[in-house]
Chain A
């Protein structure tokens, strides 16, 4: 009896090897195409399919990294191999277009590492973003941390703008993080955040990337209307700076102010910035007060001697910086109210929080209400220190 059990055990032990082989579906990492980024543009319709001409045609470009190119173990003599590969296809559904790419490569694709998608300017002007993004948010292997960008000009060019040794999308992701050190770059938005905004029909601002002479630049912000999901227009660097002050999204950064009378420059480095948007309602009229507070240090001044030991001088600098910030903020507000009639600075959100009932009435045409709302801006700057140098020369 015992012997029998032993034999059965040995048999089971041997049989278990059948189920322990884990490599039956392995693929060499060198052969995998790890998709790292994609871009979608508006394309011209394909000839043969003229019957579907009324549809919008998409040009999808897929950027995948080549593990061989990245490894850096290339022979010195061998020709330089690009570390990435772009493949393009045209179609009118995102998923079908993607599938078409399989006719151009023998390698299997992996989407687990998709990190950024760049949507072409023309496409987003015409097509609701939600239609373009749904495929990404449905796919379980694509994460919500996927960053979304608007490409100025042709989005495909951005996937080609870098040194031959760099992968453009990796560069793009590096650039997108810079909003934490520069006030002139809007914060990056990932898929989940974009979808949350669009689901609640609120306007949003996306980072805009541009390929200038094959160099990648992140500078502008693209305003997307939350109701239509379409591109409204762009904000330039300075307007982004104003917006970042409004939304207190800026963490650290610099402000340059000019003393117009004496034609001297003051550079201010702020360590924190806070803004409070306070809505007021009188009857059916809405107005806002914006209070911006910041403190930081005096970093640069073109005054000679510019004695920072003297509080008078510091206060003068503070006033200059306050004036400058107020100016850029007002310019941004003007642009949003008068040119774009779109609220991306979160005025509506503050109204929703403080006056939920009134917000419900205004929600449907909030952008009109916003365009006519009077907005007052107060700025308070405190220079807490001037780092390690007090003055340029001794007082006479």
Chain B
């Protein structure tokens, strides 16, 4: 075995991990990306519907993983479709994870450079954050899950508190009329929403580490459910403050919201610094997991030690993060990741169907 058998995570830890991995760049950009497509104030409905679509896919993924106890997708993909095809699929998945990590480190560095460390070169930020990332990933899945468990409650409390203060500039009229243009705009918004929920595919790997793999479905449902609530609050507050027409003009609409009010009379006047701190933690949880999944995939596919692939992948990620030359290209990279992700979902469903017809469920049990 390449993975440590003591590396077991509990069901709540899995749910928390799923939520933490889902919440990432989406907090800052989702209100814009979804409203761009919807065009009406109904984007919040798309967020809920998109979340439900994602829940169904999440259940499929959990079901697939449950067929192969203690095996990650990298291992059982080769069982289902054979060595060659399985390895090819693993490669797609690894590339997807690597591009995601690169993208997120870049976005993190861009935002940090824009708002927090104006004079620090963006490369320094990236290298610093990658070092912390490696430190965590080398420890394996257990420390990661524990860290996420610590960070998520803090995130939720601080975000909700600051959003509450944002009620000052919230206008209900910005969210009305509900479905004034009918249901079609809402449908259009589902596709960009589902991309903000990426991260739930981690259940394909996390199930292998669960102490009770039978509860994988429950964990993924709770994990996605929590992120639906989180994203719903974000979109409602941001669109309510900036209006549907205003949201689409901002690069980071959520930051704009937090910069648009001052709370006088409480300890601090400006709360965006808290949000940055929390957001960095949350995006950190996302890319550390993705980084771990990519490294794990490489090691399980090539049968080499995982530490080799962790250190080996670092320069690759750094290169990916430095490819985009401006912010528009960063978003283009995001689009590319999105398309690969749809491929991943497609392949997973094909795997599930094949595994189902080959009755692998019983085979692995017997």
Contacts and interface: CB of A to CB of B under 8 A. Distances in A.
Interface of A: 25, 140-141, 143-145, 190-193, 195-197, 199-201, 346, 349, 352-354, 356-357
Given A140-B115, A356-B177, A356-B181, 10 more contacts: A25-B119, A143-B259, A143-B262, A143-B270, A145-B259, A192-B260, A195-B249, A200-B246, A353-B173, A353-B180
B29 to A, nearest CB: 16
B169 interface: yes
Contacts of B180: 352-353, 356-357
A143 B173 contact: no
Interface stretch (B11-19, B149-157, B237-245): B237-245
B169 A192 contact: yes
A234 B118 CA distance: 41
Contacts of A141: 118
A105 B118 CA distance: 23
B358 interface: no
Contacts of B322: none
Interface string B256-284: 11011110000000100000000000000
B229 interface: no
A277 to B, nearest CB: 11
A144 B259 CA distance: 5
Contacts of B174: 196
Contacts of A356: 177, 180-181
Contacts of B176: 353
Given A200-B245, A356-B181, A145 B114 contact: no
Counting from the closest, the 5 A-B pairs by CB-CB distance are: A356-B180, A196-B246, A200-B245, A144-B260, A192-B260
Contact of A195 (B115, B246, B257, B261): B246
Nearest to B256: A144
A145 B262 contact: yes
Given A143-B259, A144-B256, A353-B176, A192 B241 contact: yes
Nearest to B176: A353
Contacts of A349: 173
A349 B169 CA distance: 17
Contact of B177 (A145, A201, A353): A353
B260 A200 contact: no
A193 B177 contact: no
Contacts of A195: 246, 249
A193 B181 contact: no
B119 A190 contact: no
A195 B246 CA distance: 7
A362 B181 CA distance: 15
19 contacts: A141-B118, A144-B257, A144-B260, A145-B260, A145-B261, A145-B262, A190-B169, A195-B246, A195-B249, A196-B174, A196-B242, A196-B245, A199-B245, A200-B243, A200-B246, A352-B177, A353-B173, A353-B176, A353-B180
A90 to B, nearest CB: 28
Given A145-B259, A192-B169, A356-B177, A140 B114 contact: yes
Interface in B103-119: 114-115, 118-119
B172 to A, nearest CB: 10
A190 B249 contact: no
A356 B256 CA distance: 28
A192 to B, nearest CB: 4
Contacts of B119: 25
A192 B262 contact: no
Contacts of B244: 200
Contacts of B118: 141
Contacts of B242: 192, 196
Contacts of B257: 144, 192
Contacts of A143: 259-260, 262, 270
B270 to A, nearest CB: 7
Contacts of B249: 195, 199
Nearest to B116: A140
Contacts of A196: 174, 241-243, 245-246
User: Which of A196, A352, A354, A357 has most B Cβ within 10 Å?
Assistant: A196
Interface in B156-187: 169, 173-174, 176-177, 180-181
A355 to B, nearest CB: 9
Contacts of A357: 180
B169 A193 contact: yes
Contacts of B114: 140
Contacts of B262: 143, 145
Interface string B211-247: 0000000000000000000000000000001111110
Nearest to A130: B249
A354 B177 contact: yes
Most buried by A among B177, B249, B260: B260
Contacts of A352: 177, 180
A216 B321 CA distance: 52
Contacts of A193: 169, 260
B243 A199 contact: yes
A345 to B, nearest CB: 13
B121 to A, nearest CB: 14
B28 to A, nearest CB: 13
B45 to A, nearest CB: 15
Nearest to A195: B246
Contacts of A197: 243
A143 B259 CA distance: 5
A19 B241 CA distance: 42
B44 to A, nearest CB: 16
A271 to B, nearest CB: 21
B199 to A, nearest CB: 27
A144 B169 CA distance: 11
Nearest to A201: B245
Contacts of A346: 173
B120 to A, nearest CB: 11
A227 to B, nearest CB: 13
A191 B173 CA distance: 19
Contacts of A25: 119
Contacts of B248: 199
Among B115, B181, B246, B257: residue with most chain A CB under 10 A = B246
B181 to A, nearest CB: 6
A199 B243 CA distance: 9
A362 to B, nearest CB: 14
B253 to A, nearest CB: 10
A357 B245 CA distance: 17
Nearest to A354: B177
Interface in B126-150: none
A95 B147 CA distance: 45
A41 to B, nearest CB: 26
A192 B177 contact: no
Nearest to A352: B177
Contacts of B173: 346, 349, 353
A1 B261 CA distance: 59
